[in-house]
Amino acid sequence: MTNIFTDFLSSLSLINLGLAFSGVVAGIIIGALPGLSATMAVAILVPFTFALEPSSGLIVLGAIYTGAIFGGSWSAILINTPGTPSAVATTFDGYPMAKKGDGDLAMSISCISSFIGGIVGVICLALFAPPLASISLKFGPTEYFWLAILGLTLISTLAEGDNIKSLIGACLGLLMSMIGVAVIGGDMRMTWNISFLNSGIEIVSAMIGLFCIPVILDLTSMKGKHLSENETPKSLRLKESFLIVFNKKFEALRGAFIGTFIGILPGAGGSIASIVSYGEAKRSSKNKDNFGKGEPEGLIASETANNATVGGGFIPTLCLGIPGTPPDAVILGALLVQGIRTGDTLFTQQSSIVYTFIFGLLLATIMMLPLGLLMGRYAYKSIIKVPREILIPIIIFLTIIGSYSIQNNILNVYFMFFFGLIGWILNRAGFKASPIVLGLVLGQIAEQGFVQAYIIGNAQENILANYFARPISIVLVILILMGLFLPTLKKIYNRRKNA
């Protein structure tokens, strides 16, 4: 106990506080720019941390990661383009809120929710890391496959619009994820001898194109202001935001626990977490008809979950050496370079570094609240004041620089442009971008799980049992079926009841 208290004091040193502060600010800015992901932010700064004490280096990396995941919600709310894939569900209600003139409220709610999610995730990391890590080992290929399918069916049935078209969009996303070298078998697929397709489609550039370009093209034709302004712009609306989140405290906590749990599963990440949390919020809400039209509850669900994956993702990273998310993988690399050995003994033999890091993460999350509220307010004010004539070139500029900087490759910019045009055409035909993007993000997880489960089932001479008879799989399949058919069955039931 005394040791933990000493670690806590050590995390409060001036240098660590300064590092956490600058890490959060840098993370928020990077996360808010479409194309610049948390992974990139963390990766750029890894070499700089080698000169620091191991715990200080880890604190700055954790702070950047925390800030970047939250920052992703800004562009999702203000320009309908998720800064990171984990903010896809934030666009569902965040952007409609901004369009209605509640952008400042959405920004504040997103910050408070991210704070709650982040705190719950870090507390779970500090208190229950070793037992929770063992849960992730119970997830085999079949479970990963069904988890990815659950994410896809949920997004298809939850996103505003036509469910069949959303499911088709999810399938199109899955097909796009297959372009390039097959994850198992190594076949070159759907490249049609075009060499630049060999490495597959870069997810972030496709995401920027699919979300951003339809917005740009619609803004070009739009008359009037791009975002409505609130009638009382001088009010901070902080009290209102806190009150909204406080009234939805159980929903916020549920989102945070969902995020932490999904964060524990290596590879699943914030995109599935926020979708599952959003789905659960919609299912249990009294205002389910308002979801997708600017319902703060949807925003709370998405943002608590994606920030909770930060703490959750560190659980398998620190306890098992299996990174939960891509930024965790980069941080794991930094840990190894610093001579820290991950595993069961980490919390006992090198506890001082680990607990200083956890307390640093907690500090960064706490700092994120005032910083995010303050910076978010200015970001919203600036976006709303920028005339459309200049906002459109700025967004285009950010899409180009963002997609170029992913791999410093012009082909990603062409991909972004191409997918943007396709996205705009599909959007006008009623196909939404979010299921396509999630299909693309989850494609590899789904395929790897599907094929590995097929191989295992084949070896056991019972393929179907391997897909459908495992306990966790059964639960996931039931959830998928509920997600697919419950809304339709409810509609039929209500129609009959009224008739």
Partner 1 sequence: MLKLIKDKTSFISGVCLIVLCIILFYEASTLSPFGSVFPFAITTALISLSIILIFRSFKLEIKVINENVSSIKISLLTITFFAWIYFLERIGFILTSLIAFNLLILINSGKKIPLKKVILYVLTGSIFILLLYFGFKNLLLVPLPEGYWFRN
Task: Return the number of the residue (178 or 301) whose C-beta is nearest partner 1.
Answer: 178
Q: How far is the CB of 189 from partner 1 (least distance, A)?
A: 6
Q: How far is the CB of 405 from partner 1 (least distance, A)?
A: 4
Q: DSSP state, 342?
A: P
Task: Return the number of the residue (4 or 182) whose C-beta is nearest partner 1.
Answer: 182
Task: Return the number of the residue (194 or 390) whose C-beta is nearest partner 1.
Answer: 390
**244 exposure class (CB count in 10 Å sphere: 0-12, 13-18, 19+):** buried
Calculate the dihedral angle through the C-alpha atoms of 20, 22, 23, 29, rounding to the nearest 10 degrees.
Answer: 140
Task: Return the number of the residue (128 or 404) whose C-beta is nearest partner 1.
Answer: 404
Q: What are phi and psi of 258, to 5 degrees?
A: -60, -45
Task: Return the number of the residue (166 or 325) whose C-beta is nearest partner 1.
Answer: 166
Q: Residue 6 and residue 356: Cα distance in Å, rounded?
A: 9
Q: How far is the CB of 181 from partner 1 (least distance, A)?
A: 9
Task: Return the number of the residue (2 or 408) whose C-beta is nearest partner 1.
Answer: 408
Task: Return the number of the residue (145 or 314) whose C-beta is nearest partner 1.
Answer: 145
> Residue length, the chain?
499
In 3D, which of 2, 1, 4, 19 has the Cα closest to residue 360?
19
The answer to whether the beta carbons of residues 107 and 83 sit under 8 Å apart is no
Q: Residue 310 and residue 120: Cα distance in Å, rounded?
A: 10
Angle between helices 433-459 and 410-428 (to 10 degrees): 100
Task: Return the number of the residue (213 or 335) whose C-beta is nearest partner 1.
Answer: 213
Contacting positions for partner 1 (CB under 8 A): 30, 36, 44, 162, 164-165, 167-168, 171-172, 174-175, 178, 182, 184-187, 189-190, 216-218, 220-222, 387-390, 392-394, 396-397, 400-401, 404-405, 408, 410, 413-414, 417, 421, 428-431, 446-447, 450-451, 454-455
Q: How far is the CB of 16 from partner 1 (least distance, A)?
A: 22
Q: How far is the CB of 210 from partner 1 (least distance, A)?
A: 15
Q: State the Rg of the chain over Cα.
A: 22
Q: How far is the CB of 1 from partner 1 (least distance, A)?
A: 42
Task: Return the number of the residue (389 or 461) whose C-beta is nearest partner 1.
Answer: 389
The answer to whether the beta carbons of residues 76 and 87 sit under 8 Å apart is yes
Distance from the Cα of residue 407 to its chain's centroid: 21
Q: How far is the CB of 51 from partner 1 (least distance, A)?
A: 17
In 3D, which of 67, 51, 55 has the Cα closest to residue 6?
55
Please give the C-alpha separations between residue 130 and each of 174, 256, 287, 315, 319, in angstroms, as whole numbers.
34, 19, 38, 7, 6
The distance between the two most distant Cα atoms of the chain, rounded to a whole number of Å, is 73
* Amino acid identity, position 212: C
Q: Residue 411 and residue 408: Cα distance in Å, rounded?
A: 9
Q: How far is the CB of 399 from partner 1 (least distance, A)?
A: 9
Q: How far is the CB of 308 from partner 1 (least distance, A)?
A: 28
